[in-house]
A = this chain, B = another copy of it.
Amino acid sequence: MKKTKAKLSKNNSGRKFENTITAFIKNAENIYLPGISIDTVIFSFHDGKLRVLLIRYGDMPFYNLPGGYVEKEETLEDAALRILRRRTGLNAIFPEQFYIADSLERTRNNAVVRMMTKLNVDLTGNHWFEQRFISVCFYALTDEAKVRITIQDFISEFKWFDIGQLPDLFLDHKLIVEKALSRLRVDLYQRPVGLNLMNKPFTMGELQQLYEIIDQRKLDRTNFQRKMLSMNILERLEKKQTGKAYKSPYLYRFKQSDN
């Protein structure tokens, strides 16, 4: 499995990181609603694997879901959109709210404050990170090829992970990914999930692979084909793939008119 990786050099990242975060915590309570955060699960489908975008702060030994806070005059969905745009560079994203993480375990051991302290952030006089946060969670479907990741804010690393091989995650972020997956499973046959995950023309077999990963079961090839075509959301392109020792499959793409 290929993983996209971007890491700052140790030299100048440290200073930049501390500057940014200091400015952030100074203003946070004036800009954002208290006690509410946003976490996003950003999916992509690449090399036949369903992947999630994770980020790492400084040199923490765990990864986080991309997240942020809600501005005082902003809806939750707008906040999710803003965060998603900032992280992925994408405008055409459709965040779907699927869960509220409100476990009391989230504040256990003051995890956020401890993280900030390890990152050498001076929190004296600032209580923003000490409060209990309830996180509203959104998922989004993206085309990895279109995502333009830039290192910004106080993030040191971005990486796409196969959902079957997640690293250690902060707090309850692993649970959040699982909740996103089970919601995605429900949405699979209700919404055009493939539309945002598959942007290049694809074969029916590739689309079936995606459905099988999300649905976690083997689907009948012939029935899957008919079901997809009967929904009338796919457009068959006359072009065909070449090179392999079998009949070239048709390529498809999602119709633009629908949705």
Q: Which residues of A contact B (CB under 8 A)?
A: 33-36, 72-77, 97, 100, 102-104, 132, 134, 136
Contact = CB atoms under 8 A, between A and B. Distances in A.
A76 B102 contact: yes
A76 B76 CA distance: 17
A32 to B, nearest CB: 10
Contact of A33 (B35, B77, B103, B136): B35
Contact of A36 (B73, B97, B103, B134): B134
A72 B73 CA distance: 24
A102 B134 CA distance: 14
Contacts of A132: 33, 72-73
A75 B104 contact: yes
Copies in the complex: 2
Contacts of A97: 100
A208 B90 CA distance: 48
A132 B70 CA distance: 11
Across the A-B interface, the 9 shortest Cβ-Cβ residue pairs: A76-B102, A34-B34, A75-B102, A33-B35, A34-B35, A35-B35, A73-B104, A76-B100, A72-B132
A112 to B, nearest CB: 16
Contact of A136 (B34, B35, B100): B100
11 contacts: A33-B132, A34-B34, A34-B35, A72-B132, A73-B104, A73-B132, A74-B104, A75-B102, A75-B103, A76-B134, A100-B136
Contacts of A104: 73-75
A104 to B, nearest CB: 6
Given A33-B132, A74-B104, A75-B103, 18 more contacts: A33-B35, A33-B134, A34-B34, A34-B35, A35-B35, A36-B36, A36-B134, A72-B132, A73-B104, A73-B132, A75-B102, A75-B104, A76-B100, A76-B102, A76-B134, A77-B102, A97-B100, A100-B136
